[in-house]
Amino acid sequence: MIKFFFLLITVFWVFSSIHSKCIVGDCENGYGEWEAIPYDGYKYSGEWKDRNKHGKGTLIYSTDGSRYIGEWENGNRHGKGTYTSSEAKYIGEWKNDSRYGKGILIYKSGTKYVGDFKNDDYDGYGILYAPNGSIKQKGRWKKGKFLGK
């Protein structure tokens, strides 16, 4: 059993080191490009600190083409940034890898929310616009639920 466990760990380590690597520059403390395709399915180009994404950088997911361009802290989206996917685009503030603070979320349908976010939810004051630009809801939000004016 111990031999099997050791073999499993070795295979995992070899596989991850082959498919997940720094391809250009300094991916420890500096500027570099890290590729984890197909293993984790992304490519990151940007600043690093202590082997973590830290500073400004771009992450592109190979699985669906979504991308984040912006600021990072200790490996998490943190600060100002833009996330674009096939379903929506978010432009605004991030905290610990979540939409947090002021931002704009535009859905593929054309519906748009402009306002405050907390832990990826509408939270605080915000305006929800219909695809034609008319206001659907304007006022206070809590955990994604509209509370009223």
Per the domain annotation, does 63 fall within a domain? Answer: yes
Choice between 72 and 11, residue whose per-residue pLDDT is larger: 72
Per the domain annotation, does 125 fall within a domain? Answer: no
Per the domain annotation, does 62 fall within a domain? Answer: yes
**Residue 42 pLDDT exceeds 50:** yes
Residue ranges making up the domain that contains 24? 20-86
Per the domain annotation, does 49 fall within a domain? Answer: yes
Question: What is the pTM (predicted TM-score) of this model?
Answer: 0.83
Per the domain annotation, does 123 fall within a domain? Answer: no
Per the domain annotation, does 4 fall within a domain? Answer: no
Average pLDDT in the chain = 89
Question: Which pLDDT band holds residue 1 (cuts at 50, 70, 90)?
Answer: low
Per the domain annotation, does 64 fall within a domain? Answer: yes
Question: Which pLDDT band holds residue 149 (cuts at 50, 70, 90)?
Answer: confident
Nearest-10 Cα torsion for 97, 102, 104, 107? 50
How many structural domains comprise the chain?
Answer: 1
43-81 pLDDT, tens digit each = 999 999 999 999 999 999 988 899 999 999 999 999 999
Question: Which pLDDT band holds residue 16 (cuts at 50, 70, 90)?
Answer: very low
Choice between 9 and 56, residue whose per-residue pLDDT is larger: 56
Sheet bearing 21-25, strands edge to edge: 21-25, 30-36, 42-49, 52-61, 67-73, 76-84, 88-95, 98-107, 112-118, 121-129, 135-142, 145-148
Per the domain annotation, does 15 fall within a domain? Answer: no
**Residue 13 pLDDT exceeds 90:** no
Quick one: average pLDDT of 78-86? Answer: 98
